[in-house]
Amino acid sequence: MESIVLRRRMWPVFVGIVVPGLGIAMIAAVWNVTAVNGFRTGWQGIPVYLAGVGVIVRVACCRVELRETTLLVVNPLRTHTIPKSAIRDVSVNEGGTLGVWIDEEQEILCYAFGGSLIDHFRGTSDKAERTVERWRSSGGAASKSEATPRVSWTLCPPADVAILLCIVITVTGIIWMAIAGT
């Protein structure tokens, strides 16, 4: 069985519009600030843009993945790998957020299906809940020895590269400004 990826369609569209738009705005801002105050001040918009891109892309990478015997909840910072046999319930809370219940006290919220105004009308969280419930009722559950959920840091290469470039450019710029003096 191939994995089924559940995510809101708006996130890739949002990234496709906002990231280039912010890039154009950043170039214009750096250009204008450099024209008035010199590049010594103008370059500082570049790491701000890269940090923003890192955050936006990391949020857009959120998803719920249905694999043969495990459910993957990819949130901005943490990824939860939950064996099918460990899932007790799947529900949408009053705010519209999809949650996966491991036991009566532990709920894992799915950032990809957090409540929103659009979701109130389109019902994407409810559709995702029904899809996960159908997947749960299908065969292929993991054995009891594999029934322990795992948590790991979420890796999102485009966002991580943007944040890394932000740090490198910021440190390089600070060193350059310290060496060049006032």
Q: What is the pLDDT of residue 143?
A: 54
Q: What is the pLDDT of residue 182?
A: 58
Q: What is the pLDDT of residue 145?
A: 53
Q: What is the pLDDT of residue 72?
A: 95
Q: Is the distance from CB of 30 to CB of 46 less than 8 angstroms?
A: yes
The stretches of the chain forming alpha helices (DSSP H) are 10-37, 39-42, 45-60, 117-122, 124-137, 157-180
Q: 55, 76, 68, 53: which is closest to 7 by C-alpha?
A: 76
Exposure string of 136-169, with b = 16+ CB inside 10 Å and e = fewer, is beeeebbeeeeeebeeeebebeebeebbebbeeb
Sequential pLDDT tens for the chain (182 residues):
688 999 888 888 889 999 999 999 999 999 999 999 888 888 999 999 999 999 999 999 999 999 999 999 999 999 999 999 999 999 998 888 999 999 888 999 999 888 777 777 778 888 999 999 999 988 765 555 567 899 999 999 999 999 999 999 999 999 998 998 75
Residue carrying the six token digits 């899932």: 87
**What is the residue extent of each domain of the chain?**
1-61+156-182
Query: What distance in Å separates the CA atoms of residue 176 and residue 34, rounded to the nearest whole number?
Result: 16
